[in-house]
Structure formats: C-alpha cells, structure tokens
Chains A and B, each alone.
Chain A
Amino acid sequence: EAEVAQSPRYKITEKSQAVAFWCDPISGHATLYWYRQILGQGPELLVQFQDESVVDDSQLPKDRFSAERLKGVDSTLKIQPAELGDSAMYLCASSLGEGSETQYFGPGTRLLVL
C-alpha cells in the first residue's frame, strides 16, 4: 500500500540551530501539505503545494520557516533559527489534488527544541 514517507522521525536540536524535514508523498499525488501539531491540539496547516507551486502559506511563519517542492514531488520544510516554541509534531500529507478529498498523512517528525 502506498504511503507518505517522512524523515527523520525524531529530531532534537538546540534553539537557534537550523533543522530540516523531508517528505515524499504518495506517487501521483499533486497536492502536498505540511501541518504542525502541538500536543493536545489538532494539526494546523503550515503550507500547501499544488505540484511545485505554493497554494497557501498564510500560516507559515516566514521569518524562520521555509518550504519548497522544487520538482513537484518531494518536499522540504526548514526552520532557521529554531525556537523553543517550535517543539511539535510536523506532519506531511498528500492528496490527488482534485477538490475536497482525502488527505493521507505520513508518520510525522517529532521535533524537540532545547
């Protein structure tokens, strides 16, 4: 069964350091999403790609976060510099990209900033 791949699964870093997360969506899925989930809350969208283009990055803290999907397949989310409040689960999801539809999530990257 096709799955969304993410790496690393866990990341511990010190504040002010740079971190990067990688996501490989399900093959053929045009839409890719990055979500952040804080403990006790539901996931919240950070950025949405349609192929290689950003569709929605209104909730992305652009002073420190960046995301790219250069070839419209896999994607990287970067934080620089990391802050204590960035500790959370970072989730990648993908969908076919044809309107309201099911999104499939990867296992996530749990980030701890010390």
Chain B
Amino acid sequence: DQQVKQNSPSLSVQEGRISILNCDYTNSMFDYFLWYKKYPAEGPTFLISISSIKDKNEDGRFTVFLNKSAKHLSLHIVPSQPGDSAVYFCAASAGGGSQGNLIFGKGTKLSVKP
C-alpha cells in the first residue's frame, strides 16, 4: 500500500501561470515533507521542505502548503517557467533514525509550455 501518493502522473501549464502539484499521504507519523525535482538521467534535486509544525513554507517562486487534517500537501510554482519542466517527487519521513528514510510518491511530470 502506497504511503505517499501523487495521483496526477502529468500536468501541463502555460508559461507564466501557476503550477499546482498535489500529494496525499496515509501515515500520520510523517513529520517532515519534501519536494524534489528530477530531470532525466539525473538525481533528484531538493526544492523545498516543510515540517509538520507548519502549514506553509515559501522560497522564491515555490510554496509548499501542508494540510495535516486532510493528510495533503501541495507545491505551488508561480510564475511557471519552461525550465521548471521536470518530474516532481513528493517525499515524507517520520522522526529520523531508522524512520528517517524518505518515502516517495511516483512523481508528477510537469510540462511548462512557452
């Protein structure tokens, strides 16, 4: 059973508009959430994270929102740029130690069209 779910395999957005990528999780022990961006044949690049004690974290064009009651988080990219086209992975971890490994979703492929 998948603990981290990204239900949209792909998303297409026009340049300059907002991209919203969604992620749901089932494990209430998760206390740290991250978004990674991945280009083909490269490793994931860290984008932004949020602790479970917060509901929002912003870094430049990227904002992550966390709704713990709904076990849902989202990544907003504003404005979207063609260079943002990549696969975005949502990941979660629970408490560090042997629970510190990341559980990933399957990814959402974002295409930003000029």
Contacts and interface: CB of A to CB of B under 8 A. Distances in A.
Interface of A: 4, 6, 31, 33, 40-45, 48, 50, 55-56, 89, 91, 93, 95, 98-108, 110
Nearest to B2: A42
Contacts of A100: 31-32, 51, 93-96, 100
B106 interface: yes
Interface stretch (B13-21, B37-45, B63-71, B75-83): B37-45
Interface size class on chain B is: 20 to 34
Contacts, number: 72
Interface of B: 4, 31-32, 34, 36, 41-46, 49, 51, 89, 91, 93-98, 100-102, 104-107
A36 B11 CA distance: 25
B96 to A, nearest CB: 3
